[in-house]
């Protein structure tokens, strides 16, 4: 971020340049076809938008073009109201909410008995455990990535297409509106409802099946698969079959590692490289759709198509009739073609009505469903024609002294080259680059660039080096011939060679990482209490500069000083990212005014799309007519009526009769905790969370916590109503289990979070707060910490007693007894499972022995710190291995000729994690400090490497040590073996296939690849578990076995894999329990696969 003073200066300069630009734009615009004079940027006083004016701007788009250019529109927000779940709405003139009276309008869907009837009907085939009506779960699912909030009355997790087929006719008959939810990363308010939310479950293989066809040039996928996952499946297919070309799906939204096929198809999402030509509309081969009456149409199956044509003749005829009318209307056909030549997700995919012949209604219907945001049917399967992922790539970052030159550059590249991606950065985005050292190294002249400077990030790809070279030459030539000014400052022009293409993917990645980081940067820097908004507009690329200048000017005038404009320049697509509060009427008013003007600038003045790729949702539903004109808009309503006559499917989305819908149900963002205030509720973290299928996801933990904070504030100020007090009590009650107890606090959410939030830290802080209040528990924890040797001695004996009891009473009674005790003690006593370990053998402190390397004058010394877990827990009772982890490690050290030093007082040492994860901060700190002192002494102040045999313990030690010299001395076993032992041992492959599970702590330390490579030295094939985190979290998974159960339901090991390896004894236990094969420490495999070198190398 630029320093404050600099920011102000830049703002002044920007203001001056903008004045000049805007007047230029007005000049240009006055000559254009619409006759627009750009009066919105002018000095006239705004007039209120009401009555007739409202009609003109919304309901009659042809009139709007002339009217809007003459008058600046100002919306009147008479008042705002906040509902029970905190959503803020503008109160529309004359609007009356009658409690208890159901109307199919947001905020008016009261239960008049229909929801109860719906529940009764679906309970015949959907168990109660998959229906949620409680305040925490409904609130949690009332959250998607948009800035809208509607609280569903009921959330239903569906397992398969058959369930959807049964639900839809019931919903239709009872007139219960429903909304589908895939990953909930939508930004326009289309994945939420105040009625029934149908959530695709991901349990096991539900909605996650796929078939790769042939060489991967097509793939059939179900809607619960994440886009990135599909690309990994295709890459693995190419690798396994040694195919010359790797394919990927065409759509490439930047959310691809989180969003799912259901959402990608239904939003017609796209991204940086796919443009228009590779979006779902253009790359979808076939689709299976469930219609409102439960009928399934499978477009890949001729019999299904024929049956559908017969059974749904009225629908088919209706669609064909619409297509006939459109195709006969030249003007409308031209409008549709023009609009879909650039990115457009405003309204329905009307191009389906012009792109296909009238005698092919199935193609028309299939394409209309794409981008319909769950308002026409349910997509249960999609077959994509995939696109090649060319291996050779290079990227360049070219800076221009002004936006106009950069946009002109994008325009010539689009018209005259086959460049693959062109991303535009405005000045605000470039400012973010200035604070990135790597960027400054690669593009040094960004520093202090002109106030209207801009840049293009360009990527070229080729199927081989020659093809790539040809593309780069073409791009360079075309840009040179265009004669555009280059360089960050007009006064210091640069040649194009100052911005070379980088073939080294490390450098290219720096550019693309900065690009991907632009959204989160605004999100992270925003004022607590505000939300981050992402608008997504597009226009013909030759108008991009004018539109961008207008928008920058608009943001300046409305005081959105953190706004950035950047995006997919080749498609004229800009993302506008800025922060916005909804805390009072003034803030809502500012938003309303800005939206009105933005829509005018984009849709009317520059003939653009209000949504390029994010879908219409609720956000621009009131402006669809403004963008499309009345004729096309009316057609869309006709379409909706054909497919869903009673507006049962996602009503209010895409088409909405309320002109103020975008100013209603705005989501607040209370500043509840500095740990999570930056959260933008994008949902990217969800797929990494072990509790996602059992209780809450990280996003849901945060959003519910925010809501409880808001309600607590109301209560504290005496302003809470009885309903709000009741809501708070109910939420707090459920959150204890859903939010707090079932969080593994492993921080895997942080790995996928664009603003780097570790929700586990928030939960640990809550636990610490609770423990500070619980004085007795804290005192006991401190006593145990101080007398840890007692635990160390007692636990192995206890485990052996349990093992003995198992042999006497058998597994079933033991499991039953432990489950009962677990329930009776509020999850304090762990639940037994057959892979519970026996007590570990006592640690043998070795006597120093002369070693060959020491004799050669290079002492091989290592400090070995066995964790308390491996000191206490041996292998599982049924495992053929009987040695403990520390015996295996000692064996390896001995083979490699290492002298082993064990820290003093080892039997009473512990990293403190078991205290920390329960919230006993003082006890954890005390243990950590003791261990640090012992390690410092044993390693001679960090001179001798230290190995800790359990990854999570090492991570805990690293997170709390204060002595820098220790930091570089600490090793996880995998890292130590790779760095120090590989060349000192003989290796042989002793298995055909092994499974590995890299613990979450090791993943966070970045050693996933090393783990795989090491296992690869011992086995011909290595299969990763594919589980981000098993949910064990010390002993939490034993006390809450449903947590590991939910996480490990996704474990899918190949047949013939007889053992697995990890580096955390407790994780190994739960992995064994859920896979049925023994998981052990990786050192077992390494010990088996290695022998001493005949002649030791130095
Ligand atoms: C930070 C961020 C960046 C983003 N970047 C991009 C981007 O670059 N490009 C882009 O296009 N989008 C982007 N998005 C928006 C969003 O991620 C995509 O639109 C995504 O495809 C939505 O998928 P989802 O699985 O989250 O769907 P959801 O949000 O769950 O649902 C999307 C819509 O589809 C409907 N739906 C879901 N499943 C089905 C089904 N099986 N049948 C019928 N209807 C269904 C829902 O009702 C809803 O209307 C971004 C979002 C975020 C938060
Ligand atoms: S925690 Fe991070 S990834 Fe998760 S919703 Fe919030 S911002 Fe997104
Ligand atoms: S810390 Fe782990 S369990 Fe908790 S929210 Fe994050 S990923 Fe989920």
Q: For ligand 1, what atom is nearest to the CA of residue 251?
A: 11
810/802 Cα distance (integer angstroms): 11
* pLDDT at residue 16, rounded to an integer: 59
- The DSSP bridge partners found for residue 537 are 574
* pLDDT at residue 1034, rounded to an integer: 82
* pLDDT at residue 788, rounded to an integer: 80
Verify that 252 and 336 share a domain, yes or no. yes
Which protein residue's CA is at the shortest distance from atom 5 of ligand 2?
A: 681
Q: How far is the CA of 186 from the centre of ligand 1 (A)?
A: 4
Which protein residue's CA is at the shortest distance from atom 49 of ligand 1?
A: 373
798/706 Cα distance (integer angstroms): 43
Contact (CB, 8 A) for 216 and 176: no
Verify that 324 and 403 share a domain, yes or no. no
Give CA torsion, residues 1010, 1011, 1015, 1021, to 10 deg. -90
Task: Decide if 890 is inside a domain.
Answer: yes
pLDDT at 46 over 50: no
* pLDDT at residue 15, rounded to an integer: 58
pLDDT at 37 over 60: no
Residue whose CB lies within 8 A of the most ligand 2 atoms, among 140, 687, 699, 746, for a mutation test = 699
Instruction: Check if 680 has its Cβ closer than 6 Å to any atom of ligand 2.
Output: yes
Verify that 800 and 918 share a domain, yes or no. yes
Q: What is the pLDDT of residues 474-504, one digit of tens each?
A: 999 999 999 999 999 999 999 999 999 999 9
Provide CB contacts within 8 A for 445, sequence distance 6+: 399, 487, 488, 489, 492, 494, 498
Dig out the tokens for 649 from the structure: 């499917």
Relative to the alpha carbon of 276, which ligand is closest? 1
Instruction: Check if 917 has its Cβ closer than 6 Å to any atom of ligand 3.
Output: no
Residue whose CB lies within 8 A of the most ligand 2 atoms, among 144, 186, 684, for a mutation test = 684
Of 552, 581, 614, the one marking the end of a domain is: 614
* pLDDT at residue 57, rounded to an integer: 37
350-364, 712-726, 832-846, 1010-1024: segment of lowest average pLDDT: 832-846
Verify that 985 and 995 share a domain, yes or no. yes
* Residue span of the structural domain in which 306 resides: 210-388
Verify that 375 and 468 share a domain, yes or no. no
Contact (CB, 8 A) for 179 and 159: no
Task: Decide if 201 is inside a domain.
Answer: no
Which protein residue's CA is at the shortest distance from atom 13 of ligand 1?
A: 253
pLDDT at 852 over 90: no
pTM of the model: 0.89
Instruction: Calculate Rg over the CA atoms of the chain.
Output: 31
Instruction: Check if 532 has its Cβ closer than 6 Å to any atom of ligand 2.
Output: no
Of 592, 614, 636, the one marking the end of a domain is: 614
Closest Cα partner for 207 from 249, 258, 167, 159?
159
Instruction: Check if 681 has its Cβ closer than 6 Å to any atom of ligand 2.
Output: yes
How many domains does the chain fold into?
3
Dig out the tokens for 720 from the structure: 């809470």
pLDDT at 967 over 80: yes
Verify that 361 and 403 share a domain, yes or no. no
Question: 169-183, 813-827, 1032-1046 — which one is most confidently predicted on average?
Answer: 169-183
Task: Decide if 245 is inside a domain.
Answer: yes
pLDDT at 986 over 50: yes
What CATH number has the domain bearing residue 572? 3.40.462.10
Relative to the alpha carbon of 762, which ligand is closest? 3
* pLDDT at residue 50, rounded to an integer: 40
Q: How far is the CA of 224 from the centre of ligand 2 (A)?
A: 20
Task: Decide if 181 is inside a domain.
Answer: no
Verify that 406 and 269 share a domain, yes or no. no
**What would the mean pLDDT of 1048-1065 be, rounded to a whole number?**
88
Task: Decide if 628 is inside a domain.
Answer: no
Confidence of residue 856 (pLDDT cuts 50, 70, 90): low
Q: How far is the CA of 260 from the centre of ligand 3 (A)?
A: 20
pLDDT at 64 over 80: no
**What would the mean pLDDT of 973-983 be, rounded to a whole number?**
93
Q: What is the pLDDT of residues 691-740, one digit of tens each?
A: 999 999 999 999 999 999 999 999 999 999 999 999 999 999 999 999 99
In the block, tokens 């001798």 appear at 944
Verify that 231 and 353 share a domain, yes or no. yes
pLDDT at 298 over 80: yes
Task: Decide if 500 is inside a domain.
Answer: yes
- DSSP strand pairing (154-158 vs 196-200): parallel
Q: What percent of the chain is modeled with pLDDT above 70?
A: 92
146 compared with 1058, residue with greater pLDDT: 146
Which residues of 292-389 form beta strands (DSSP E)?
A: 296-298, 378-385, 387-388
Q: For ligand 3, what atom is nearest to the CA of residue 750?
A: 6
Q: How far is the CA of 697 from the centre of ligand 2 (A)?
A: 10
87-96, 570-579, 609-618, 1089-1098: segment of lowest average pLDDT: 1089-1098
Q: How far is the CA of 344 from the centre of ligand 1 (A)?
A: 15
Contact (CB, 8 A) for 249 and 235: no
pLDDT at 1065 over 60: yes
Residue whose CB lies within 8 A of the most ligand 1 atoms, among 269, 349, 683, for a mutation test = 269
* pLDDT at residue 203, rounded to an integer: 76
Relative to the alpha carbon of 744, which ligand is closest? 3
* pLDDT at residue 143, rounded to an integer: 96
What CATH number has the domain bearing residue 307? 3.30.465.10
Verify that 417 and 557 share a domain, yes or no. yes
Confidence of residue 805 (pLDDT cuts 50, 70, 90): confident
Q: What is the pLDDT of residues 646-690, one digit of tens each?
A: 999 999 999 999 999 999 999 999 999 999 999 999 999 999 999
Task: Decide if 610 is inside a domain.
Answer: yes
Verify that 412 and 369 share a domain, yes or no. no
**What would the mean pLDDT of 760-765 be, rounded to a whole number?**
94
Verify that 372 and 397 share a domain, yes or no. no
**What would the mean pLDDT of 839-855 be, rounded to a whole number?**
66
Task: Decide if 449 is inside a domain.
Answer: yes
Q: For ligand 3, what atom is nearest to the CA of residue 744?
A: 3
Q: How far is the CA of 516 from the centre of ligand 2 (A)?
A: 15
Q: For ligand 1, what atom is nearest to the CA of residue 191?
A: 48
* Residue ranges lining ligand 1, Cβ < 6 Å: 144-145, 179-187, 190-191, 223, 253-255, 259-260, 262-264, 266-267, 269-271, 373-374, 378-379, 519, 613-615, 650, 682
Q: Per residue in 229-257, is it b (16+ CB within 10 Å) or e — as a string? A: bbbebbeebbeeeeeeebbbbbbbbbbbb
Of 388, 407, 439, the one marking the end of a domain is: 388
Contact (CB, 8 A) for 767 and 740: yes
Q: What is the pLDDT of residues 533-586, one digit of tens each?
A: 999 999 999 999 999 999 999 999 999 988 999 999 998 999 999 999 999 999
Verify that 432 and 499 share a domain, yes or no. yes
């Amino acid at each position: 971020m630029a320093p404050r003073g600099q920011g102000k200066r830049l703002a002044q300069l920007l203001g001056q340049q903008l004045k000049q630009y805007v007047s230029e734009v007005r000049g240009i615009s006055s000559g254009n076809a619409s006759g627009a004079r750009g009066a919105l940027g002018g000095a006239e006083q705004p007039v209120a938008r009401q009555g007739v004016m409202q009609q003109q701007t919304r309901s009659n788009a042809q009139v709007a073009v002339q009217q809007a250019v003459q008058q600046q529109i100002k919306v009147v927000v008479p008042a705002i109201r906040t509902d029970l779940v905190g959503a803020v709405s503008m109160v529309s003139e004359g609007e009356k909410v009658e409690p208890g009276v159901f109307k199919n309008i947001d905020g008016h869907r009261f239960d008049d008995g229909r929801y109860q009837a719906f529940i009764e009907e679906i309970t015949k085939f959907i168990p109660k455990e998959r229906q949620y009506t409680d305040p925490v779960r409904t609130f949690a699912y009332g959250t998607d990535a948009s800035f809208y909030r509607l609280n569903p009355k009921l959330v239903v997790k569906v397992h398969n297409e058959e369930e959807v087929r049964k639900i839809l006719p019931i919903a239709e008959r009872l007139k219960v509106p429903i909304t589908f939810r895939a990953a909930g990363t939508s930004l326009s308010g289309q994945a939420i409802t105040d009625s029934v939310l149908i959530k695709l479950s991901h349990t096991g293989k539900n909605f996650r099946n796929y078939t790769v066809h042939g060489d991967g040039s097509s793939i059939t996928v179900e809607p619960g698969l994440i886009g990135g996952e599909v690309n990994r499946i295709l890459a693995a297919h190419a690798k396994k079959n040694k195919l010359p070309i790797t394919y990927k799906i065409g759509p490439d939204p930047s959310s691809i590692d989180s969003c799912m096929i259901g959402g990608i198809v239904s939003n017609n999402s796209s991204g940086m490289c796919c443009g228009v030509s590779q979006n779902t509309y253009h790359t979808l081969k076939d689709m299976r759709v469930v219609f409102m009456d439960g009928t399934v149409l499978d477009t890949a199956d001729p019999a299904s198509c024929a049956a559908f044509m017969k059974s749904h003749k009225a629908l088919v005829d209706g669609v064909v009739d619409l297509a006939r009318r459109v195709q006969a209307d030249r003007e409308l056909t031209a409008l549709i073609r023009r609009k879909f030549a650039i990115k457009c997700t405003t309204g329905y995919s009307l191009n389906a009505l012009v792109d296909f012949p009238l005698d092919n209604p199935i193609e028309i219907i299939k394409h209309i469903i794409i981008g319909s945001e769950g308002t026409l049917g349910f997509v249960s399967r999609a077959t994509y024609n995939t696109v090649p992922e060319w291996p050779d790539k290079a990227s360049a970052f070219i800076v221009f002294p002004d936006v106009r030159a950069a946009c002109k550059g994008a325009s010539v590249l689009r018209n005259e080259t086959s460049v693959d991606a062109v991303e535009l950065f405005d000045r605000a985005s470039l400012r973010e680059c200035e604070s990135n050292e790597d960027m400054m190294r690669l593009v040094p002249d960004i520093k202090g660039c002109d106030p209207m400077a801009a840049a293009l990030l360009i990527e070229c790809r080729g199927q081989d080096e020659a093809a790539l070279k040809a593309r780069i030459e073409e791009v360079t030539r075309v840009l040179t011939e265009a004669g555009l000014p280059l360089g960050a400052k007009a006064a210091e022009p640069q040649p194009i060679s100052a911005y070379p293409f980088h073939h080294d993917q490390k450098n290219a990645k720096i550019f693309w990482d900065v690009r991907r980081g632009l959204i989160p940067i605004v999100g992270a820097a925003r004022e607590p209490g505000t939300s981050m908004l992402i608008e997504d507009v597009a226009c013909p690329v030759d108008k991009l500069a004018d539109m961008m200048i207008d928008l920058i000017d608009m943001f300046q005038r409305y005081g959105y000083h953190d706004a950035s404009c950047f995006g997919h320049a080749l498609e004229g697509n800009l993302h506008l990212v800025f922060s916005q509060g909804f805390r009072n009427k003034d803030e809502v008013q500012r938003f309303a005014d800005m939206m009105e003007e933005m829509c005018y600038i984009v849709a009317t003045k520059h003939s653009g799309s209000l949504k390029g790729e994010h879908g219409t949702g609720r956000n621009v539903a009131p402006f669809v007519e403004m963008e499309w004109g009345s004729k096309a808009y009316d057609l869309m309503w006709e379409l909706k009526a054909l497919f869903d006559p009673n507006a049962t499917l996602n009503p209010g989305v895409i088409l909405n009769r309320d002109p103020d819908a975008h100013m209603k149900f705005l989501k607040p963002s209370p500043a509840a905790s500095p740990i999570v205030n930056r959260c933008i509720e994008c949902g990217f973290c969800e797929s990494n969370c072990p509790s996602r299928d059992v209780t809450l996801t990280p996003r849901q933990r945060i959003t519910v916590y925010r809501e409880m904070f808001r309600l607590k504030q109301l209560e504290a100020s005496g302003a809470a109503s009885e309903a709000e007090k009741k809501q708070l009590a109910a939420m707090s009650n459920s959150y204890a289990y859903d939010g707090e107890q079932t969080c593994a606090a492993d921080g895997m959410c942080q790995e996928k979070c664009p603003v780097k939030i570790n929700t586990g830290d928030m939960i640990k802080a809550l636990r610490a707060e609770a423990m500070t209040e619980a004085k007795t528990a804290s005192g006991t924890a401190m006593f145990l910490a101080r007398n840890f040797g007692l635990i160390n001695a007692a636990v192995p004996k206890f485990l052996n007693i349990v093992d003995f009891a198992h042999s006497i009473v058998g597994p079933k009674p033991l499991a039953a007894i432990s489950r009962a005790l677990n329930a009776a003690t509020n999850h304090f006593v762990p639940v037994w499972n057959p892979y519970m370990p026996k007590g570990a053998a006592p640690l043998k402190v070795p006597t120093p022995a002369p070693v060959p390397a020491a004799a050669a004058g290079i002492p091989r010394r290592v400090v070995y710190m066995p964790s308390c877990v491996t000191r206490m827990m041996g292998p599982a009772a049924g495992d053929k291995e009987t040695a403990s982890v520390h015996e295996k490690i000692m064996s390896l050290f001995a083979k490699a000729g290492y002298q082993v030093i064990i820290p003093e007082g080892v039997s009473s040492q512990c990293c403190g994690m078991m205290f920390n994860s329960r919230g006993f901060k003082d006890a954890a700190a005390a243990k950590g400090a003791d261990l640090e002192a012992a390690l410092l002494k044993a390693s001679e102040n960090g001179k001798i490497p230290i190995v800790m045999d359990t990854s999570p313990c090492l991570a805990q030690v690293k997170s709390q040590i204060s002595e820098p010299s220790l930091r570089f001395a600490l090793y996880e076993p995998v890292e130590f073996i790779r760095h120090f032992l590989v060349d000192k041992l003989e290796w042989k492959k002793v298995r055909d296939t092994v499974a590995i599970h890299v613990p979450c702590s090791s993943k966070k330390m970045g050693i996933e690849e090393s783990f795989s490579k090491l296992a690869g030295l011992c086995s011909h094939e290595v299969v990763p578990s594919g589980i981000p985190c098993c949910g064990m979290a010390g002993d939490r998974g034993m006390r809450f076995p449903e947590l590991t159960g939910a996480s490990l339901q996704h474990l899918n090991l190949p047949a013939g894999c007889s053992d697995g390896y990890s580096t955390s004894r407790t994780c190994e236990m739960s992995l064994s329990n859920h896979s049925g094969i023994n998981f052990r420490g990786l050192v077992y495999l390494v010990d088996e696969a290695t022998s001493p070198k005949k002649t030791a190398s130095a």
